[in-house]
Amino acid sequence: MTKQCVCVTGSTQGIGYGVAEAFARAGARLVINSHLPDDGAVRRLAALTETHFVQADLSTVEGARTLIDASWERLGRLDTLVCNAGTFRDTDFTDLSEDAVDATFDLNVKGPMFCAQRFASRLPQDHRGASIVLTGSTNSMAAEMSSVAYDASKGAVLMLVRSLAVNLAARGIRVNGIGPGIVDTPLTRPGLDRGNARQVVNRQIPLGRIGLPDDIGGAAVFLASDAARYITGQMLYIDGGILALQMNRDVSE
Ligand code: NAD
């Protein structure tokens, strides 16, 4: 059977690495990416499958196009694009700068939009089984304090999933999203390591614990697989039950 060819953006660490590893274990050939030089992720993944690294800054349109073109060249084709790279630049809303909002939207919204555009434009008309998976968040649905730019960007990702799904359906390209809750990664670790933050957060999650990158990848592999061939325009939340909970009334200390 032909191996699935997959590009995962923002995948040298954190959730993207977990997604890449899940595809590697499912037998895919991979391109991973970061705006920074790779620090060993390719070597670790290459023990599981053919893996290439492309350095590209996806907060620029040129970076998005470069990544897709270079991935095509390395693998010979692409079947699946996972747009995962994202950032959090918020401060208290009263201090939120235009630069922080631009940086958030450039990477979280324009990044996946222009990666998806290049991916779709390079796919041959007769390609079968292509799909795109975008990383949204529980913040696509519910707000957090001091997260105005991030919340708005992830709300946009939810509509990007739906809009791309509608626009690319005629070409047989499915578009779905994965929406992590709170996951222990280099992005969230500084906050989680502060004081008793971990215990407080663990207590508010119905399944009782913060997620791990390893918890997320399986959903992306499923959405990109033939088992999901009639699913498009959906966001699958992987959040330990966070969005299902109306309010945490645990008053015990
Ligand atoms: P992370 O910071 O640990 O990893 C981000 C990855 O993206 C790294 O490999 C980094 O090098 C890469 N990256 C950063 N800027 C880039 C750029 N300009 N161009 C290309 N690559 C770039 O973050 P994470 O926690 O793993 O988050 C990954 C995605 O998951 C983001 O979209 C984030 O919004 C989303 N998410 C995270 C959580 C969480 O709790 N960690 C929850 C919900 C959604």
Comparing CA positions, the residue from 191, 184, 213 lying closest to residue 8 is 213
Q: Give the model's pLDDT for residue 46.
A: 98
Write down all domains in the chain, each with its CATH number in brackets. Answer: 5-244 (3.40.50.720)
Separation between Cα atoms, residue 68 and residue 90, nearest integer Å: 29
Pocket of ligand 1 (CB under 6 A): 10-16, 33-36, 57-59, 84-87, 107, 135, 137, 180, 182-183, 185-188
The whole-number pLDDT of residue 253 equals 56
Taking 3-state DSSP, the helix, strand and coil percentages for the chain, each rounded to the nearest 5, stand at 45, 15, 40
Separation of CA 123 and ligand 1 centre (Å): 26
104 alpha carbon – ligand 1 mean position (Å)? 11
Read off the pLDDT band of 247 (50, 70, 90): confident
C-alpha 35 chain-centroid distance: 15
Give distance in angstroms: CA of 82 to centre of ligand 1: 12
The per-residue pLDDT for 252 is 63
Integer Cα distance of 221 and 19 in angstroms: 8
**CA separation (Å) from 42 to 26, 49, 50, 231?**
17, 10, 9, 31
Structure confidence at residue 248 (pLDDT): 76
pTM: 0.98
pLDDT tens track for 132-186 = 999 999 999 999 999 999 999 999 999 999 999 999 999 999 999 999 999 999 9
